[in-house]
Amino acid sequence: MRVQTILNDNNNRVYLNNMTATVTTSIPATIMTRLRTKFLPRPWWQQALLIAIAAIVYIYTVGFVFGARVLPSLIGWSNGIPRLTDAAPGDVPALFARWDSGYYLHIAENGYSPNGDERAFFPLYPIVVHAVSAVWGIPLLWSGALVSVLSFISAGLLLYQWVRTDYTHAQALLATLLMYFSPMAFFFVAFYGEPLLLLTGVASLYFARRGQFLMSGIAIALAGASRPTAFLLGLPYVIEFWQQRNFTRRQWLQFALGAAIAPLGTLAYLAFLTQQIHASSLLAASVAVEWDEWKRYTAWPWQVLFDGLNAAIFGAGITGDWFSRLLAWHDLSYAVFALVIGIRNFTRLRLSAAMFLLAGMLFFYTMHGPYGYAFWSIPRYITALFPIYLALALDLGRLPVQYLWLAIGASTLLLGMLASWFVSGRWVA
């Protein structure tokens, strides 16, 4: 059945490309009819917002039902990590407070201690959580859930607007959908720094694409106070200024001010660490908390790939249980898949986005994880490299509609499985 869908996009009636949609058992006709009559005619922001709400409800539902009720709890709050609160791990605001969440909560409650492991975690998220809790008088866990959810929703709306600048409504909406239902999206509702990193990262490219470099620099500074990988945002910042060719005095001034502000978030925190641990330099402070304490080290990308393959195929350098081997395969598959997607779509992405995606992958390929777990945590790192969702949308949008829905369904199922696994107290990334 040939469908021509008319959308209301920015108050203008625009036509999507004609889509040949064969109704199969995997896509019931009633669902297609509701999409055409109830969803597609809505303004873009309502479409994106409905997708966001659906994703968040889904993540919390599978976490509450399967992660906290069906799967046996493995370690609760996690061993060796500061206890979160007296709340039970199955309580709604505590569902996605696991593993690193203990450090973030410790910072929000007590600040940084001179010798604490929490120094590896940047301060923006716990500062915002503490501020919201203090102003509204709500517990920190509820405050964290609110900050994460609102950041996740806002990031999706900005992502749509960023993509829509250069691509069609259908491609922008699909990229947003893929982000909200990506397998690791539960980290964006967790008590983690990732939600604010995603929001500030998308904001930085959105403002840079619009030529608002001062705002972009501020967004990068905030990202730099969220996670140490924010320095990667400096690359698309410079590329966008060069691509736009607007070299007026006013634009040069805005670019220079934004560039001066951009590193302040990271530098301020490293300066604080340098004073606290009496390090000899900012670099020494960074190495002390990010590398020495967490057993990471830099290596050539091919060495990291070789060790990742060795761990997955032969179990080299990792413990011999089934979970460790599965974890090695999980991490390796994300590392290889994301790199292939980035290379495949390099010429189809705007240069700033393409370079940001590939530079991010290259950097992650040089961060050797502890022991034999070469790609340790790389799925979580990749999920914040948001141009990958546009790259996936460009690839999947070329498939027949039934295969597109199959890919979205598989991603949604994997998201539910991993979210449940995380809630049950088991390691994901």
Residue 158 is encoded by which pair of tokens?
Answer: 């900005």
Q: Is residue 32 part of a domain?
A: yes
Predicted confidence at residue 282, as pLDDT, reads 65
Q: Is residue 81 part of a domain?
A: yes
How many helices and strands, by DSSP H and E, does the chain display?
18, 6
Backbone φ and ψ for 114, nearest 5 degrees, come out as -60, -35
Tell me which residues of the chain have a pLDDT lower than 50.
1-26, 77-78, 80
Which residues are CB-contacts of 306 (< 8 A; sequence separation ≥ 6)? none
Q: Domain containing 358: what range?
A: 43-423
Q: How far apart are CA 226 and CA 269, in angstroms?
A: 10
Q: Are 257 and 390 in the same domain?
A: yes
Residue 135 is encoded by which pair of tokens?
Answer: 């102003």
Q: Are 30 and 148 in the same domain?
A: no
Predicted confidence at residue 364, as pLDDT, reads 95
Predicted confidence at residue 236, as pLDDT, reads 97
Angle subtended by helix axes 301-314 and 322-344, to nearest 10? 140
Q: Is residue 429 part of a domain?
A: no
Which residues are CB-contacts of 320 (< 8 A; sequence separation ≥ 6)? none
**Could you read off the pLDDT of 207-246 as tens digits, one per residue?**
999 999 999 999 999 999 998 899 999 999 999 999 999 9
How many domains does the chain divide into? 2
Q: Are 84 and 16 in the same domain?
A: no
At which residue do the structure tokens 């997607």 appear? Answer: 341
Predicted confidence at residue 160, as pLDDT, reads 98
pTM: 0.90
Q: Are 10 and 138 in the same domain?
A: no
**Could you read off the pLDDT of 160-196 as tens digits, one per residue?**
999 999 999 999 999 999 999 999 999 999 999 999 9
Q: Are 157 and 51 in the same domain?
A: yes
Q: Which of 261, 172, 277 is nearest to 213 (CA)?
A: 261
Sequential DSSP letters for 194-206: HHHHHHHHHHHHH
Exposed, middle or buried: residue 137 (CB in 10 Å: 0-12, 13-18, 19+)?
exposed
Predicted confidence at residue 11, as pLDDT, reads 40
Q: Are 263 and 332 in the same domain?
A: yes
Q: Is residue 428 part of a domain?
A: no
Predicted confidence at residue 279, as pLDDT, reads 66
Q: Are 313 and 231 in the same domain?
A: yes
**Could you read off the pLDDT of 399-427 as tens digits, one per residue?**
999 999 999 999 999 999 999 999 988 88
Q: Are 30 and 116 in the same domain?
A: no
Residue 24 is encoded by which pair of tokens?
Answer: 């199969």
Q: Are 29 and 100 in the same domain?
A: no
Q: Are 135 and 224 in the same domain?
A: yes
What is the helix, strand, coil percentage profile of the chain, to 5? 65, 5, 30
Predicted confidence at residue 119, as pLDDT, reads 84
Q: Are 296 and 225 in the same domain?
A: yes
Q: Are 84 and 12 in the same domain?
A: no
